[in-house]
Amino acid sequence: MSNDLGYRPTGTTDQNYGSPQPSEHDGAQPYSAEPTRHEQRSSTPNIADRFADLLAPLSARRRRGLIARLSVGYYEGWRPSRAEVAELVAQELRRSPR
């Protein structure tokens, strides 16, 4: 006899009380350590989502910095247009590399 906690009475073998294996017919998916595309995306929208294509040429460090500037501006009431963000990206790209 087995219960939900995996208890097997002493003297039994896996032949009688083996753990269930997923089959191709029961719809179970094998576990994968790799996150899916959906899991890689943030579930919470942020200020930079609309401008992802404009921010793409920046390095990760500069992108995070610009996103921080956009976030601070947002909470101060600034709602930048695409043209404004494009100009900020151009300014960042003109600056000397760090």
pLDDT tens-place string over residues 11-32: 555 555 554 555 555 555 554 4
- Contacts by residues 89-93 (CB-CB < 8 Å, ≥ 24 positions apart): 89/54, 89/55, 89/57, 89/58, 92/58, 92/62, 92/65, 92/66, 93/57, 93/58
Q: What is the pLDDT of residue 39?
A: 46
Q: What is the pLDDT of residue 38?
A: 44
Tokens of 28: 């179970």
- Largest alpha-carbon pair distance within the chain? 74
Task: Give the model confidence (pLDDT) of 47-95 as tens digits.
Answer: 889 999 999 999 999 999 999 999 999 999 999 999 999 999 999 999 8
Q: If DSSP codes are grouped into helix, strand and coil, which group holds residue 44?
A: coil
* pTM value > 0.85: no
Q: What is the pLDDT of residue 34?
A: 52
CA distance 11 to 7: 12
